Amino acid sequence: MADQQKRDYYEVLGIKKGATEDEIKTAFRKKAMEFHPDRNPNDKAAEEKFKEVNEAYGILSDAQKRDKYDRFGHAGVDPNAGFGSGGFSGGFGGGYGGGFEDIFGDLFGGMFGGGGYAQSRRTGPQKGGDLQKNLKISFKEAAFGVKKNIQLTKWVSCDACGGSGAEAGSSKVRCPACDGSGEVRTTQKTPFGQFTNIEACSKCGGSGQVIEKPCPKCNSAGKIRKQVTISVGIPAGVDNDSVIPIRGQGEPGINGGPSGDLYLVLTVERHKLFTRRGADLWLDMPITFTQAALGDEIIVPSLNEKVKYKVPEGTQPGTVFRLRGKGIRNIRTGRMGDLFVKVQLEVPVKMTAEQKKLLREFGDSLDGESYSGRKRFLDTVKDLFK
């Protein structure tokens, strides 16, 4: 049964049902890195698990698909299974396209005479496998977007045979073992009557055709390993662990099916000045005692320009002021975030004797009312020890 052959998607990612979007994304990245083909060369088992992880993430990361999967299992997200938004799209009659017919066909090995629907569907056109590649970009590239040319080695359709696997000028011929049907039928008698078992032809793999003259370049595989360069547009506002899908750049399809997709998992480098909280930027900015006490017009750096800001008189250490629209574009809403600047009061570390003398005289000239915060603190201490 197709639904039994696949593992539960939550189990595949190692998470519980009801996991959050971030938990799904984190689990996907961990599993994908574990089974990535680059880390497991020539390991077929790891390759299959990598495909399984990508398939699970493709369903659970999509809210609508995940909802259908939670309600109906694998059948709910199988485009051929017949589940719509409200339930079944058909009954048990001959016009029903999938679902129960597949289940019973697989359970009993296609013994219900003419019940080879599920097998023929599996040997028809199939989408190629998905691929994943990690890509590191700078902080500014993530903020403003960038175009990148990335290189990766992957399977591509053989250019010599066009993906057919047959030598140029030749073509596939009818399979002599199954006479082009793609199926081999065997009849067996049981206590319940005579049943016909339908299986895919082992000689042609169920396609009904075989290659007489294999392509010398790909040896009838229809695909070759090749290094390719792909131009990718990274949108403004992406962040760590953002996943960029590139349609059709995965592995070649099977039996004329479409190619799979390539998923870029982004890592954003840290910035020397700014930290990011969603679409907002935060900056710790040092100012002098004089600027804080008397007020001053300072120059604040943003990601792409310098902005003037009037620091008010009597600004205290740790004060945060906000520059609207000077953050990063929100990738979902398109709105710009803000820049939050936190004041860091810088105390001079090198002073001459004359400067120290002047500073002491200045301090002595101030009374208790000059420091409101210090006055409140001392009053609280007095109350504490009354």
Domains of the chain: 1-107 (1.10.287.110), 274-384 (2.60.260.20)
Given a cut of 50, whether residue 341 has pLDDT beyond it is yes
Given a cut of 50, whether residue 150 has pLDDT beyond it is yes
Nearest to 133 by CA among 29, 235, 263: 263
- At 278, the pLDDT band (50, 70, 90 cuts) reads very high
- Please state the rounded mean pLDDT for residues 238-253: 91
- Please state the rounded mean pLDDT for residues 83-97: 36
Asked if 280 and 338 count as a contact pair (C-beta separation under 8 A), the reply is yes
* pLDDT at residue 124, as a whole number: 64
Given a cut of 50, whether residue 111 has pLDDT beyond it is no
Q: Give pLDDT tens digits for 123-139.
A: 567 888 899 999 999 99
This prediction's pTM: 0.59
Given a cut of 50, whether residue 88 has pLDDT beyond it is no
Nearest to 2 by CA among 86, 93, 70, 101: 101
- At 156, the pLDDT band (50, 70, 90 cuts) reads very high
- Please state the rounded mean pLDDT for residues 276-297: 95
Given a cut of 60, whether residue 174 has pLDDT beyond it is yes
Given a cut of 90, whether residue 71 has pLDDT beyond it is no
- At 246, the pLDDT band (50, 70, 90 cuts) reads very high
Cα–chain-centroid distance for residue 298? Answer: 41
Question: Which two tokens mark 303?
Answer: 């990601």
CA distances, 40 to each of 50, 54, 221 (Å)? 10, 16, 22
Q: Give pLDDT tens digits for 35-70.
A: 887 778 788 888 888 889 988 998 999 888 888 888
- At 110, the pLDDT band (50, 70, 90 cuts) reads very low
Cα distance between residue 230 and residue 228, in whole Å: 6
Given a cut of 50, whether residue 82 has pLDDT beyond it is no
- Please state the rounded mean pLDDT for residues 237-251: 92
- At 80, the pLDDT band (50, 70, 90 cuts) reads low
Q: Which of 75-84, 87-96, 199-208 has the lowest mean pLDDT?
A: 87-96
Question: Which two tokens mark 242?
Answer: 């953002």
- Start-to-end CA distance of the chain, whole Å, equals 81
Calculate the average pLDDT of the chain: 82
Distant-in-sequence, close-in-space partners of 68: CB < 8 Å, separation ≥ 6:
76, 77, 83, 85
Other beta carbons less than 10 A from residue 149's beta carbon? 8
Of 95 and 348, which is predicted with more confidence?
Answer: 348
* pLDDT at residue 7, as a whole number: 85
* pLDDT at residue 179, as a whole number: 86
Nearest to 215 by CA among 165, 256, 255, 169: 165
Q: Which of 15-24, 285-294, 296-305 has the lowest mean pLDDT?
A: 15-24
Cα distance between residue 145 and residue 233, in whole Å: 7
* pLDDT at residue 98, as a whole number: 35
